[in-house]
Amino acid sequence: MDYQNRVGHKTGSGGPASAQDLAAHNRDRLRRLALETFDLGKDPYLQKNHLGQLECRLCLTVHASDGSYLSHTQGRKHQMNLARRAAKEDRNSFNMPLPKPAGMPRTSTVKIGRPGYRITKMRDPDTNQYALLFEIEYPDIEGKPRYRLMSAFEQRMERPPDPAFQFLLFAAQPYETIAFKVPNLEVDDTPGKLYVHWDETLKLYVLQIQFRAARTAKPLPALPHRPSVYQGVGPKFA
């Protein structure tokens, strides 16, 4: 700002600056300081239109100069929009599934074949329930075997699926998973009916299951026939 060459003042004497001049000088000084600390080229929301004006893509505002845009970025509207955008990105990142760690190869176990097994059919003498005893041998097992029941509609080996049967699966690494076709009856899981045991010494997995008795449909009792008196509809003649 030129404080010397002013109208109505001698050269070199200096003159008082008006409030408008001081405000313009302060704005220019603040703009230079902001440009030194803030790089407009790295602002993702700054865009220059075909008229040479600066636009804020976040707030959809237009500014004539970089100083006006810098003042806008420090304002309440721009800061609130930044907070809303950050909250939205946090919600989206929380709902998205976590990415799989890169550089970790997928481990694959080489199968060594099917295990040996024995199946015994039994019947409970007290309840007359049908039972099956499975003995699976895993001499080279890694860990502990597991079992589960699978519906006929889940498997893809037999088409069309037979709803009268279900499959009992046994799985253990590094052996292949084996399955047995059993009746599609409800397994009795009351204490003493379902027996599961894993023998670490013999490497023998024992499972005994008992099926509940199949429900039989009982016919509904017939409605009683009560004698009734016929009453005709219409006028009665004496």
pLDDT digits (tens, 9 = 90+) for 185-231: 888 888 888 899 999 999 999 999 998 876 555 566 666 666 666 56
Low-confidence ranges of the chain (pLDDT < 70): 1-17, 30-31, 33-38, 93-109, 214-238
Q: Give DSSP secondary structure letters for 88-123.
A: HHHHHHHHSPPPPPTT-PPP-PPP--PPEEEEEEEE
Compute the distance between CA of residue 62 and CA of residue 59 in angstroms, rounded to an integer.
9
Quote the tokens at residue 48: 């220059």
| Strands 178-183 vs 46-48: parallel, antiparallel or unpaired | unpaired
116-210 fold: Immunoglobulin-like (2.60.40)
Residue 171: what pLDDT? 92
Model-level pTM?
Answer: 0.46
Contact 144, 204 (CB under 8 A): no
Residue 65: what pLDDT? 82
Residue 222: what pLDDT? 66
DSSP letter assigned to residue 81: H
**Is residue 130 left, alpha or beta, with left meaning phi > 0 and alpha meaning psi from -120 to 50?**
beta
Residue 124: what pLDDT? 85
Q: Does residue 73 sit in helix, strand or coil?
A: helix
Residue 217: what pLDDT? 53
Give the Å distances, CA to CA, from 33 to 13, 26, 36, 37, 67: 30, 11, 5, 7, 10
pLDDT digits (tens, 9 = 90+) for 101-111: 655 555 566 77
Compute the distance between CA of residue 221 and CA of residue 223 in angstroms, rounded to an integer.
7
* In the chain, domain spans: 19-90, 116-210
